[in-house]
Amino acid sequence: MYADVMTPVTVIITEVPVSKPRLWPSSSLVDRATCWGQPVTVRCGSTSGTAVRYAWYRNAQHDNVLLHHSSELLLHCGAVVEDGDYYCVASNNASSQRSDVLSVQVLMPADSSCIYAVNMQGQLIYECADRMNGTTAKPPPTTSCHSDTVNQSLRINQTHQDLFPCRGATLVHAAALGITCDLADIPVRSAKMHESETKEEG
């Protein structure tokens, strides 16, 4: 006859303390979408810890204001009406850790199409100066034109178009005006023709 042997087992559950939480945007800040009033979600996370809880706070003049209990903070035109610093707190029953500060600079508050910049540790630092001036950061376009004399494409910067008309352009004209062109495929012209055009320019 065999009898079941009941052995008492003691289970001790120990919570692992949380590590310092890290902040990162859900989408890249390289394109500076916030300068055009686009929303951005900032996430908070700890690499270690059990049963971690997250909460977002905003620094105020005399106290820190609890925004909500979540690992994510959504920034958008309706929420960012003035400059402010935000941070996340990760906690469990064993410990509590605070993240680095996330700074928001509001350049033009509005319900929509606002302008603001987000600055956080380890992310691109940018500004919206071009947006405030009503311009963009796009480089000036280039234009291709053909010379009647050389019959080759000359790439010139759009800002020099008024100084260097495409029609009838020659190498001497370009040199006289101090314009740099892409001449890799343009054949060298004869010394006699070059001398003739130089006299005409004089």
For residues 60 and 89, give the distance between their C-alpha atoms in angstroms, rounded to a whole number: 16
> Closest Cα to residue 174, out of 127, 85, 182?
182
Q: Is the pLDDT of residue 117 over 90?
A: yes
Together in a domain, 33 and 67? yes
Calpha distance 172→195 (Å, rounded): 10
Q: How many domains does the chain have?
A: 2
Q: How confident is the model at residue 135 (pLDDT cuts 50, 70, 90)?
A: low
* Co-location of 120 and 172 in the same domain: no
Overall average pLDDT of the 114-129 stretch: 92
Instruction: Give mean pLDDT, residues 19-44.
Output: 95
* Boundary (domain end) residue, out of 99, 132, 165: 132
Mark 134-153 as b/e (b = at least 16 C-beta within 10 Å): eeeeeeeeeeebebeebebe
Judgement on whether residues 117 and 177 belong to the same structural domain of the protein? no
The residue ranking higher by pLDDT, 124 or 44, is: 44
Residue 62: give the domain boundaries: 22-132
- Could you tell me if residue 195 is inside a domain? yes
194: left (phi over 0), alpha (psi -120 to 50) or beta: alpha
CATH number for the domain including 84?
A: 2.60.40.10
When pLDDT is cut at 50, 70 and 90, the band that residue 95 belongs to is very high
Measure the CA–CA gap between 91 and 17, rounded to whole angstroms.
8
Does any domain span residue 68? yes
- 122, 67: one domain: yes
- Which of 79, 98, 132 finishes a domain? 132
Percent of the chain beyond pLDDT 70?
Answer: 64
Decide if pLDDT at 187 tops 60.
no
Higher pLDDT, 174 or 21: 21
Higher pLDDT, 50 or 183: 50
**pLDDT score for 2:** 65
Cα distance between residue 137 and residue 64, in whole Å: 37
Max Cα-Cα span within the chain? 124
The DSSP code for 140 is: P
Same domain, 128 and 149: no
Tell me which of 97 and 196 has the higher pLDDT. Answer: 97
Q: Is the confidence at residue 18, as pLDDT, over 90?
A: yes
Is the predicted pLDDT of residue 16 greater than 60, yes or no? yes
What average pLDDT does this structure show over 174-181?
A: 42
